[in-house]
Amino acid sequence: MQEELMNIVVVGHVDHGKSTIIGRLLADTHSLPQGKLEQVKANCERNSKPFEYAFLLDALKDEQAQGITIDLARCFFKTSQRKYLILDAPGHSEFLKNMITGAAHAEAALLVIDANEGIQENSKRHAYMLSMLGIKQLLVVVNKMDLIQYSQEKFNRIVADYRLFLNHIGLTPVNFIPVSGMQGDSIVALSKNIPWYQQQTVLETIDSFQKSQPLTQKAFRMPVQDIYKFTKKQDDRRIVAGRIESGQVSVGDKVIFYPSGKMSTIASIEAFNAPKKLQSIEAGYSIGFTLAEQIYIKRGDLLVKEHEQKPEIASRIQVSLFWLGKSPLVMGKEYYLKLGTTKVRAHLEKVLHVMNAASLESKASTTVQSHEVAVCLLKLHSPIAFDRPENNELTSRFVLVDNYDIAGGGIIQHALEDNTDWMREKIQERNANWITSDISREERAEKYGQYPSLIIITGQKGSGRKTLAKSLERALFAQGKKVYYLGIGNVIYGVDADIKNTAQETRIEHLRRFSEVLNILLDAGQIVIITALNLTQDEVNFIKEATLCQRLFKIWMGQEKTTDIQENLWIKDKLISPEELVNIQMSLKNKINVSE
Partner 1 sequence: MDHLTELENRSIYILREAYSQFKNLCMLWSIGKDSTVLLWLARKAFFGHIPFPLVHIDTAYKIPEMIEYRDRLAKAWGLNMIYGQNELALQEKNTFPDGKIDRINCCRLLKTEALKQTLSGEGKRYRLNHATGQYEVDTNNEPYTGVIVGVRSDEEGSRSKERYFSPRDKNNDWHIGDQPPEFWNQFKTDFAPGTHVRVHPLLDWTELNIWEYIQREQIPTVSLYYDQGETKRYRSLGCWPCTKPVESISKNVAEIILELKSGQFANIAERAGRAQDKEDGGGLETLRKEGYM
300: three-class secondary structure by DSSP: coil
Minimum distance, C-beta of residue 504 to partner 1, in the bound complex (Å): 37
How far apart are the C-alpha atoms of 326 and 402, rounded to whole Å?
9
Minimum distance, C-beta of residue 101 to partner 1, in the bound complex (Å): 5
Q: Name, in order, each residue with C-beta under 8 angstroms of 158's C-beta and a sequence gap of 6 or more.
A: 113, 115, 118, 119, 142, 176
Minimum distance, C-beta of residue 399 to partner 1, in the bound complex (Å): 4
Pick the binder of partner 1 from 406, 416, 508, 576 (CB under 8 A). 406
By the rule CB under 8 A, 266 interacts with partner 1: no
Q: What ranges in 186-235 are assigned the alpha helix state H?
A: 202-208
Pick the binder of partner 1 from 34, 80, 149, 433 (CB under 8 A). 34
By the rule CB under 8 A, 570 interacts with partner 1: no
By the rule CB under 8 A, 133 interacts with partner 1: yes
Pick the binder of partner 1 from 46, 80, 364, 404 (CB under 8 A). 404
Q: Which is closer to partner 1, CB of 74 or CB of 414?
A: 74
- Considering Cα of 506, then 511, then 513, then 514, what sign does the dihedral take? positive
Number of helices (H), then strands (E), in the chain: 14, 26
Minimum distance, C-beta of residue 290 to partner 1, in the bound complex (Å): 10
By the rule CB under 8 A, 68 interacts with partner 1: yes
Binding to partner 1, residues 199-218 (CB under 8 A): 213-214
By the rule CB under 8 A, 446 interacts with partner 1: no
By the rule CB under 8 A, 397 interacts with partner 1: yes
Element (H, E) at 157: helix 152-168
Q: What ranges in 47-120 are assigned the alpha helix state H?
A: 53-61, 96-104
Q: Which is closer to partner 1, CB of 150 or CB of 451?
A: 451
Percent composition of the chain: helix, strand, coil (DSSP 3-state, to 5): 30, 30, 40
Residue 382 and residue 544 in contact, taking contact as beta carbons nearer than 8 Å? yes
How far apart are the C-alpha atoms of 180 and 255, rounded to whole Å?
55
By the rule CB under 8 A, 273 interacts with partner 1: yes
Q: DSSP letter for 481, please.
A: -
Minimum distance, C-beta of residue 384 to partner 1, in the bound complex (Å): 14
By the rule CB under 8 A, 226 interacts with partner 1: yes
Pick the binder of partner 1 from 41, 42, 217, 230 (CB under 8 A). 230
Q: Name, in order, each residue with C-beta under 8 angstroms of 102's C-beta and a sequence gap of 6 or more.
A: 9, 11, 72, 87, 88, 89
How far apart are the C-alpha atoms of 452 and 519, rounded to whole Å?
10
Minimum distance, C-beta of residue 397 to partner 1, in the bound complex (Å): 5
Residue numbers at the binding site for partner 1 (CB under 8 A): 2-5, 32-34, 60-64, 67-68, 70-76, 85, 97-98, 100-101, 103-105, 133, 213-214, 225-226, 228, 230, 232-233, 235, 237, 239, 241-243, 270-273, 284-286, 288, 299, 324, 336, 338, 341, 397, 399, 401, 403-406, 409
